[in-house]
Amino acid sequence: MNTLKRTAQIFLLACCCLTMLVVARSGHKPAPTVDDAAKVTVSNVKFEPRTLTVKAGTTVTWENKEGSHTVTSDTGAFESETLSAGQSFSHKFDKAGRYPYYCTFHGSKGGHDMAGVIVVTK
Ligand SMILES: [Cu+2]
């Protein structure tokens, strides 16, 4: 009886160890690759998502679905040509920071109307 109890205890302990090992090992798996590309959808008349958070080094592509729009930085950090439906514009964000932008046709600096923000983290 005593031996059986002991065996059960050892078995339980072994199970615990195995579980911990599996958990520990899964924690060592290479982290899922962080996307180095992100997308903003442009339509009449909004940027979606309005606020997009990405890591430094990410290239953001604005895809225009309809109408004519621009992607114009409040600070002049980037500026697209006028985008017609089906056209897109990309900009790579190397430095952490907050990058507000707007559409020159339907919005204005400071996040008014058709506008958005790219938040870049380290
Ligand atoms: Cu627009």
Residues with CB under 5 A from ligand 1 (ion): 69, 103, 105-106, 114
Total residue length of the chain: 122
1-15, 64-78, 80-94, 107-121: segment of lowest average pLDDT: 1-15
51 CA → ligand 1 middle, Å:
16
- Where residue 4 falls (left for φ over 0; alpha for ψ -120 to 50; beta otherwise) is alpha
Express each pLDDT in 32-59 by its tens digit: 445 699 999 999 999 999 999 999 999 9
Would you say residue 12 has pLDDT above 50?
no
**Given its phi and psi angles, is residue 9 left (phi above 0), alpha (psi -120 to 50 degrees) or beta?**
alpha
pLDDT grade for 21, boundaries at 50, 70 and 90: very low
Looking at residue 23, its pLDDT comes to 46
Going from the Cα of 53 to the center of ligand 1, the distance in angstroms, rounded, reads: 21
CA of 83 to the centre of ligand 1 (A): 9
For the CA atoms of 43, 48, 51, 53, the dihedral, rounded to the nearest 10 degrees, stands at -120
**Cα(52) to centroid(ligand 1), Å:** 18
Confidence (pTM): 0.72
